[in-house]
Amino acid sequence: MTIAYVMLAAILVAAIYIGIRYFVRARQKFSGERVIICPETGKQAMVEVDAQHAMVTSLFGQTDLRLENCWRWPIKQDCGQECLLQLDIAGEECLVRSVLDKWYRGKQCAFCERPFDDIEITDHKPALLNAEGVTVEWKQIPISAVMDAMTTSLPVCWNCHIAQTFRREHPELVVDRTTNRLAKTA
Alpha carbon 116 to chain centroid distance? 17
DSSP element (H, E) containing 13: helix 2-30
Domain boundaries, position 156: 95-186
For 160-172, the pLDDT digits (tens) are 999 999 999 999 9
Is residue 77 domain-shared with residue 164, that is, in the same domain?
Answer: no
Question: In terms of Cα–Cα distance, which of 128, 155, 154, 151 is closest to 139?
Answer: 128
Please say which residue of 90, 113, 128 terminates a domain.
Answer: 90
What's 8's DSSP letter? H
Rounded to 5 degrees, φ, ψ at 33 are -80, 145
Is residue 118 domain-shared with residue 66, that is, in the same domain?
Answer: no
The reported pLDDT for the residue numbered 112 is: 95
Of the chain, the end-to-end C-alpha distance in Å amounts to 97
For 7-47, the pLDDT digits (tens) are 898 999 998 988 888 877 777 777 777 888 888 888 888 88
Q: Which amino acid is at 164?
A: Q
**Total domains in the fold of the chain:** 2
Decide: 34 and 94 in contact? Cβ < 8 Å.
yes
Q: What is the mean pLDDT of residues 128-157?
A: 87
Is residue 74 domain-shared with residue 21, that is, in the same domain?
Answer: yes
The per-type count for the chain, helices as H runs and strands as E runs, is: 7, 6
Is residue 109 domain-shared with residue 124, that is, in the same domain?
Answer: yes
Predicted confidence band of residue 52 (pLDDT cuts 50, 70, 90): confident
- 78: helix, coil or strand? coil
Is residue 25 domain-shared with residue 101, that is, in the same domain?
Answer: no
| 95 Cβ contact partners less than 8 Å away, ≥ 6 residues apart | 32, 33, 34, 35
Is residue 39 domain-shared with residue 15, that is, in the same domain?
Answer: yes
pTM for the model stands at 0.54
DSSP element (H, E) containing 86: helix 85-90
Decide: 125 and 162 in contact? Cβ < 8 Å.
no
Decide: 49 and 31 in contact? Cβ < 8 Å.
yes
Is residue 40 domain-shared with residue 24, that is, in the same domain?
Answer: yes
The reported pLDDT for the residue numbered 125 is: 84
